[in-house]
Amino acid sequence: MVVIAGAEALAAGVLAVVVGIGALTSDLEGVVAVATVVMWVVIVGALALIWFGLFRRRRAARTPFVLAQLFALVVAWPLATSDIVVETVAGVALAVAAVVGIVLGLRPAARAALA
């Protein structure tokens, strides 16, 4: 679970940088560009907090982790059904990671491992 949470936080961080650069170089108005970047920074921060909680073996991090995986499945579907090959590959990888994360997060062994 820790590896999946860390990989998702890292991937979201890279995506936040890409989206930020794209927002600054596009024709978006300043408020929309800033709001987009702020939204991604909040998502990265939340995923990083989930990773940190799992890394420290905190039981309270398990529920947000499973919820994040459910949201990842929602995001993975449109990506996986895209006509663009890179998006399709990213969507399938995200879906696989989310399903594995849900299975690991709901296992009784995960509950026992977290203090």
Q: How many residues does the chain have?
A: 115
Quick one: pLDDT at residue 95? 93
Q: What is the pLDDT of residue 25?
A: 81
Residue 50 contacts residue 58 (beta carbons within 8 Å) = no
What count of other Cβ atoms lies within 10 Å of the Cβ of residue 57? 11
Write down the pLDDT at residue 115: 67
Low-confidence ranges of the chain (pLDDT < 70): 28, 115
Of 42, 36, 44, 37, which Cα lies nearest the Cα of 7? 44
